[in-house]
Amino acid sequence: MGTDHSVHPDPACELLDVRTVAALLGCSTRHIYRLADAGLMPGPLRLGHLVRWRRRRILAWLEEGCFAEATRKGRGR
């Protein structure tokens, strides 16, 4: 009996780089970093030197109206 070890990526778990997030939002990569640093959008995952965002979190954030992450967590004013 063999075991299937192939990877079947789930599109909802896909990790996006800053250029892809910027293209999705229609802004510059610098603006993405500023939004994330200010807590105004979902923060990235840091994997060593790599910085990635979860596609699912970005799409959910857009659907919810792009509310600041800090506000959603109860830390906003």
Domain ranges in the chain are: 12-72
The answer, yes or no, to whether residue 24 has pLDDT greater than 90, is yes
44: CB partners within 8 A, 6+ apart: 18, 36, 51, 52, 53
14: CB partners within 8 A, 6+ apart: 54, 55, 56
Pick the CATH number of 12-72 from 1.20.1070, 1.10.260, 2.60.120, 1.10.10: 1.10.10
Q: What are the tokens at 7?
A: 């990877």
Q: What is the pLDDT of residues 47-74, one digit of tens each?
A: 999 999 999 999 999 999 988 876 555 5
- Predicted TM-score (pTM) of the model is 0.73
Percent of the chain with pLDDT strictly greater than 70: 73
Which whole number is the average pLDDT over 3-32?
Answer: 82
21 class by beta-carbon count within 10 Å (0-12 exposed, 13-18 middle, 19+ buried)? buried
Taking the C-alpha atoms of 33, 34, 40 and 43 in order, what is their torsion angle to the nearest 10 degrees?
Answer: 20
